[in-house]
Structure formats: C-alpha cells, structure tokens
Structure 1
Amino acid sequence: MADHQTLTSGASGPLAGLRIVEFAGIGPGPFACMMLADMGAEVVTLDRPGAKKNQKSAAARGRKVVEIDLKSEAAIAQVLDLLEHADALVEGFRPGVMERLGLGPDAVLAKNPRLVYGRMTGWGQDGPLAQAAGHDINYISVTGALAAIGPAERPVPPLNLVGDFGGGALYLVVGVLAALLEAKKSGKGQVVDAAMCDGAASLMSMFYDFAAIGRWTTARESNFLDGGAHFYGVYQCACGNFISIGSIEPQFYQLLRQLAGLSDAVFDAQMEREAWPALRQKLADVFRTRTRAEWCAVMEGTDVCFAPVLTIAEAPEHPHMAARKAFVKRHGTTQPAPAPRFSRTPSAIREPAQADIAGLVREWRSKDASPR
C-alpha cells in the first residue's frame, strides 16, 4: 500500500476549476463532496463556529473549511456573495431549513442564475414523509431493497451503503454534474432533488424487471442473487473464514464443479430452483473440507468467479487491491483511494485547510473578472 503524496499546489482531476459550496452535514453529502474534491473541484465547506470535525477522515478530504454563524444576517450576506461566484451548492438539511436561513433556491438563483443547487435528503423535498426524521435503514425500507436482503428469517441492513451512499451520494454527484453540463449550454442553473429513497428505488431497477417476468420472488434466499442459489453465495471454510462464488454462467459452473470435485449428477440441476436448498447444503459441506487459503490456491484467478471474503483489515493487503493501490495511508490510517480513475487528469487527495470567507469572495470575484 503506497503512502499518499499530498498536492502542494493546484488541483488535479477532471473537475479542476469547478467551485462548490458545501453546507456541512453528515453522511452522503460530505461523501459526495469528497468525491468531487478528489476529482479536482474546489470545495468550500461552511461549518458552524467551533465545530470539532475530524479533518483526518476520508470524508474531509480536499476542503477549504470556513467557520461561519449562519444565524447572522451579515454572514448570510457573505455566503450569498460567495455563491454568486460558485458553480454548485450542496446542502443536506431538512426541507425548508435553507429557505428559513434566506439561502433557499429562489434567493440563491436570483443572485447567481447559473448555479446548480444540490439538495441531499432521505425522503426528498416533498411528499408525506418529507419532514420526518429517518436514516438509511428507513429510506431503503420503502423501496423493496431491505426486504430483499438477508436470510430467509429476516431482512438484514446492508450497512448504510444502499441508501446513504449508493442511492444518496452517488446520485447526488451524478445529478450535480449532469446539471452543470446542462448549465454550460443554457446558462441556467437548477435544483437537484437527490432523495435517498428515490436513488435506492432506482438501484432496484433490475430486480423490479426480474419480478415483472416472474424471475424474482419476495421470499429471501429463494432467488439466484440473494443466496438462494447454490452457485451464487458465501460459504464457510474449515478455518472459519468465508469465500464467495458467483458461478452463474454454464461454463463457469462447470469449472466450479471440476475444481470443487462436484461429480455427483445431482449438480446437473443448476437452474432447478427446487433443488437449490439441497445442493447448497452439499456445496457447504464441500467447502468446509479446506481452509480459505487452500480454496484460494485452487480457485482464485480462475473463471469460477471466486473471491475470499475479506475483512476491513485484510482487504488492503490483498494482492489485487494492493497492486491497484486501491487503498492509501493517510495520517497513519488506511483509506480508500479516489475512484474512478482518469488516464489524463488523475484524481488526487488534498488536505483540508481553514479559509476566510471574505478572502474567498475576493479570490473568486477576481477570477471571474479575469479573461478566461
């Protein structure tokens, strides 16, 4: 794992030159802005005075941090001056909070008509639940996602990856960048309403398609991608660790049978759903005969579609992840490296730094006044 080299001047990445004002929050908003900063955007985070944020965390990468009291009329005027020269805004408050501060879309777009106004919430800007509190587990509950994940007995939360980060942060990034592209053509900004429940529902598109054609049932562990099929799942090894297989295609399944010694004719019934429980138990018995390392020696790198199930501590040391430098050391801790990768304008991690809003306004105003 390579140590990260902090940039000392300038930004690297395809978004270099883009200016984004972030209103400090937690979870998907900061993660989205981390991605934008890693890709070169100049992200200014407005946080409350005395906020004790961990500036060494991955989510804090690449920011210019301004401590400012948004309850002050003078501060609001300064923020509007800064937003006049910004390309995008990102906020994650409950609906109505920004309007009450005097920083709602109408006020901001009147000051800067080309600005893209990114709004990150769980339930969205409208609807019966818009003002209710919630977390990832609640937002994915109403989409069908949570009900589909876990063992037959009960749903299991998939960390907070599906709502906060998959359906939230990533859709916010896509929405903001799409609106910025459109603004370059039209000269007009717009509001991006990124709701985690909307994004998580969108992530379920393939499974709604499967259900429509009768290839998906509502019973967990009865479908070919939810652990029901013996050829797509997680198995425990003799050492107590786990491996994963995804031998869906016939040729991959045949290789699985060959390398695992599954000569019994009962394994011919790959796609017969009623046979899956018994075949899953037989395959579980086979995988328990060797350690994870022994199975890796037999199957890893083959077309079985195989991988060891690694912990957070183990993943950075895996040969493939290490070769791709998928993790970096920063301030003595391990963090995921920026993703995705760009061939000509590579992303990079920059350290956060304190900034002064008056100085930023002068700097951005001066840049806008200079010929481009």
Structure 2
Amino acid sequence: MPGPLTQLKVLDFSTLLPGPYATMLLADMGADVLRVEAPGRLDLTRVMPPLEDGVSTAHTFLNRGKRSLGLDLKKEGSADVIKRLVKDYDVVIEQFRPGVMDRLGIGYDTLKAINPNLIYCAITGYGQTGPYKDRAGHDINYLSLAGVSSHCGRKETGPPPLGIQVADVAGGSHHAVMGILAAVIHRQQTGEGQYIDISMTDAAFALNAMAGAACLAGGQEQKPESSLLNGGAFYDYYRTSDGRWLSVGSLEPQFSSRLCEALGLTELKSLAVSQNPDQQKTLKAALSERIAEESLSHWQAVFANADACVEPVLTISEAAEHPQLQARNMVVGVDRGDGTLQKQIGFPIKFEKTKPEAGWIGKKLGADNDDYL
C-alpha cells in the first residue's frame, strides 16, 4: 500500500536543515512535496561537502522524494505562479524571518484568501512574536537560550558543540511535522485550515523535559555532572584501552549488578545503588580504571550476552552495519534517477500497512519547472 500521506500536497519554501528535514519526512510518508527555490539564492546544503558526482550528499538526502521548482519570488509574476499553485495544495511550509512572505506578496492572509482550507507552517528561530522574533540565530544559539546547553557537558570544559543539530531537527523539523499532522486532523474534523508558528527555541526549551520540571516546579537548577543522567553518577561514557568509548547505562539494580559482575567488581555493587555523591565518584573511578584496561572489542564480547545496558559508542558507518539497524532497514538505497542507488538513512517509523518510501534523491534546482510553469 502507498504511504499514509499520499493525499497530502505540500508547497515547501524552506532551506537549509529544519524545513527540508520536515518535508523529507512528509515525502517519505507519501506526501507530494514541491520545493520552491530561488535560482539566485544558493541553499548551502547544495554545495556542502562531501559531494557525490558534484552534488552534496546533504542535499540529496534532505530533499529526496521532492520535486523542484526554480522560481525567484522577488521577480514580477512569481507571486501569481504561487497563487495559482496554492489552490491545489494542502500545506505551505516556510522558513523565512517573520514578514518576508508578506513582503513577497504570498503571506498567510493572502494565500488563505485563495485557499481557506490551507495549513500554513512557519519555522523560525524564535517564533513570530517576542523581542527576538527578527533576530538571526543557529542551532547552538537556540540550545543556549533555551537552557539546554547549561546542563550538558563537563564542569571543566563546559557545554559541547554537538554532532547533530538538536534544535533544528528535534525542535524545528519534528515539531513542525507534529503540528502539521495535528492541523490536518483538525481540518478533517472541522474543515478549517490554520497557521502554525514553530519556534526552534520554544521546541528546544520543551526538550529540557525532566530537568525543566525539576527546575520550574522543584526549584532545582541542573548543572553539568550534577544529576543521575548528565554525568553526576556512573551513568556515563568510559574510555577503553584503544581509545574508543563504552556507554554504561546500568541504572537499575539488576543491571548494575550484572555490570559489576562482568567487570569483576562485585564488591562495588552497593555503590551503584547509592545516592551518595562520594560513593558514585568512587564507583566511576573504579569503572574508568577497569574499562581502560581492555579494548572496545574485548568489552563488546564481554557484554554481548549480558543484559546490563552497556553498549559500544559506534561511528555512523559502524552503526549503519550493526545487525539491529540492518534488521530495521535503517539504511536504504535511493534512486539517483539513473537506475543506480545512493545509500541513505531510512525512515524511522514502521507502519504495519502503509510503508513509507524514499522516492528519489534530491533533484537539480528547477528540475520540474516545465511541469509547473
């Protein structure tokens, strides 16, 4: 059966990561996504290395399954093209600063007058309201203002620059998809479209979850290496003799008991369940010393059949080859357009009946102009 969103048509004005990732997820689920991109305004993900056959792998991934319309929205007549197209679309998603779409003559009020059932989603760094609404920012800034960075990392070295864009993807992309699909359900029930305002800072602030609850309701501000889950206890990463890392998440007594037994540290079982910070430091020091004596492959063998919540820190290429991710089809081949396939990350949600498909890799800018102009 086709994907669950095959009846949904999306007009995508977004660039870089948050919006394109969101519309990629929608396209994977079957939505018909038309990406509108200005020929003279380069999207950096098109040229971001590494390149394959002269095309960025970031672009071919983020824009898979979408069609491409090259259109300079500042030129006379471009707004008329969008007004004609929007009659047949369910969703508009854009990522400009507040007011830009209005100045281009295709803001929400204008498009809603043409298509009253339209769902319009705007993704910005700080939202459509508030003193920061027009301020520039990136993922690291949103995480900082949202309080997330303040309790991550180490006391001595401070917050880490993360290898993934949490505010962009977990914040902007995922919350945008959630909001759009909720609005689709609302429209099915009432016939009404609506405007969705996604702030990546808002979403990042919401990701504080347990630490946020402890602070706002409990008056306890979480600092780096101060809690059970952020390095304040033995739940942590440990370096092996060959410079690799082992993750230890053996929080519950049954798991910590198996951890100590596997490491030959049975005398330290009582420390694992202790709330005493000094005892936790003693346990962490013992774990660090013991794990540093052997290689990562050694510990992988030791914990292969031990149900102790201990796993190796894998590289992306190693993760892609892991039997679990292979079994879950998390690496897929996506059509390059010439019958050959490019390896890409697969769709993470498994539907029983409506199987998502990756479609094709991101197209050249304006590849579908003849169909729409």
Q: By the TM > 0.5 criterion, same fold?
A: yes
| Mapped partners of 2:304, 2:95: distance in 1 | 42
CA contact (8 A) 1:90 1:117 kept: yes
Q: Secondary structure of 2:77's match?
A: helix
Could you tell me which residue of structure 1 aligns to residue 263 of structure 2?
260
- Confirm whether residue 347 of structure 1 aligns to residue 350 of structure 2: no
| Mapped partners of 1:222, 1:339: distance in 2 | 32
Q: Deviations over 1:265-295 (max 9, x none)?
A: 4743523241222211111011112211111
CA contact (8 A) 1:22 1:90 kept: yes
User: Which segment is superposed worse, 33-42 or 198-207?
Assistant: 198-207
The partner residue of 1:33 within 23, 39, 44 is 23
Q: Secondary structure of 1:84's match?
A: helix
Q: Report deviation, 1:307.
A: 1.1
Could you tell me which residue of structure 2 aligns to residue 206 of structure 1?
210
Could you tell me which residue of structure 2 aligns to residue 117 of structure 1?
120
Q: Which amino acid aligns with 1:46?
A: V
CA contact (8 A) 1:229 1:273 kept: no
- Confirm whether residue 80 of structure 1 aligns to residue 83 of structure 2: yes
- Confirm whether residue 99 of structure 1 aligns to residue 108 of structure 2: no
| Mapped partners of 1:61, 1:235: distance in 2 | 38
The structure whose RCO (Cα within 8 Å, separation 6+) is larger is: 1
CA contact (8 A) 1:216 1:223 kept: no
| Mapped partners of 1:212, 1:45: distance in 2 | 41
Structure 1's unaligned 5+ residue stretches are: 1-10, 362-372
Q: Deviations over 1:248-272 (max 9, x none)?
A: 1111111111212122247435232
| Mapped partners of 2:174, 2:305: distance in 1 | 30
| Mapped partners of 2:56, 2:241: distance in 1 | 42
The partner residue of 1:280 within 256, 268, 284 is 284
Q: Report deviation, 1:189.
A: 0.9
Q: Deviations over 1:212-259 (max 9, x none)?
A: 5759653211211112211x1111111211111111111111111121
Q: Percent identical across equivalent pairs?
A: 36
User: Which segment is superposed worse, 65-74 or 191-200?
Assistant: 65-74
The partner residue of 1:224 within 214, 223, 228 is 228
| Mapped partners of 2:249, 2:20: distance in 1 | 33
Could you tell me which residue of structure 2 aligns to residue 298 of structure 1?
302
**Residues 166-181 of structure 1 aligned to structure 2 (within 5 Å):** 166-181=170-185
Q: Deviations over 1:135-167 (max 9, x none)?
A: 011111111111111111211133343210011
The partner residue of 2:322 within 310, 318, 322 is 318
| Compared CA separation, residues 356 and 120, structure 1 to 2 (3 A) | same
| Mapped partners of 1:172, 1:301: distance in 2 | 40
TM-score, normalization: structure 2? 0.88
CA contact (8 A) 2:257 2:269 kept: no
TM-score, normalization: structure 1? 0.88
| Mapped partners of 1:293, 1:345: distance in 2 | 39
Q: Report deviation, 1:129.
A: 0.8
| Compared CA separation, residues 124 and 67, structure 1 to 2 (3 A) | same
Q: Aligned-pair RMSD on alpha carbons?
A: 2.1
The partner residue of 1:162 within 166, 182, 186 is 166
